[in-house]
């Protein structure tokens, strides 16, 4: 049993081991994880250039505070561009995919409480 534990923890000098108990597995800045020419960056850049003034001005305010319309639109477009069409899958991807996490700004919009469910 001890031999198996040594193999799983990869503490052998010929292999790079893992420390899954460290506090931070990913860099704090998601920019470090995506190439400059990544599709998610392109989509976020295009959406950020759109004028949402009329949408924001018509918003009356509700509780709980909704997610930004630009972020939700970018998530939908990136999802569709990468073959992720279902709102539940898009929500799950904000946890699993660095690119989706980047588009969502490290948020995880609940598909049942956001425009993703439309």
The pLDDT value recorded for residue 4 is 44
Question: Look-up: residue for tokens 């003034």?
Answer: 53
Please say whether the beta carbons of 66 and 114 come within 8 A: yes
Nearest 5°: phi and psi at 63? -115, 135
List per-block mean pLDDT (blocks of 10 residues) for the chain, which spans 118 residues.
Answer: 47 64 69 92 96 88 80 95 95 95 91 58
Please say whether the beta carbons of 91 and 109 come within 8 A: yes
The pLDDT value recorded for residue 57 is 87
* Token pair belonging to 11: 């503490």
pTM, 2 dp: 0.74
Total residues belonging to the chain:
118
Q: Where are the alpha helices (DSSP H) in the chain?
A: 2-9, 39-49, 53-58, 69-81, 87-96, 98-103
Taking the C-alpha atoms of residue 51 and residue 28, their distance in angstroms, rounded to an integer, is: 30
The pLDDT value recorded for residue 1 is 43
């Amino acid at each position: 049993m001890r031999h198996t534990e040594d193999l799983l923890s990869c503490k052998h000098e010929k292999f790079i081991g893992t420390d899954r108990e460290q506090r931070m597995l990913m860099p704090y800045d998601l920019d470090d994880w995506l190439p400059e020419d990544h599709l998610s960056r392109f989509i976020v850049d295009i959406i950020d250039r759109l004028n949402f003034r009329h949408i924001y001005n018509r918003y009356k305010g509700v509780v709980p505070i909704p997610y930004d319309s630009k972020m939700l639109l970018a998530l939908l477009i990136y999802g569709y561009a990468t073959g992720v069409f279902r709102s539940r899958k898009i929500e799950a991807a904000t946890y699993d995919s660095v690119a989706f996490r980047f588009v969502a700004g490290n948020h995880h919009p609940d598909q049942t409480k956001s425009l993703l469910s439309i």
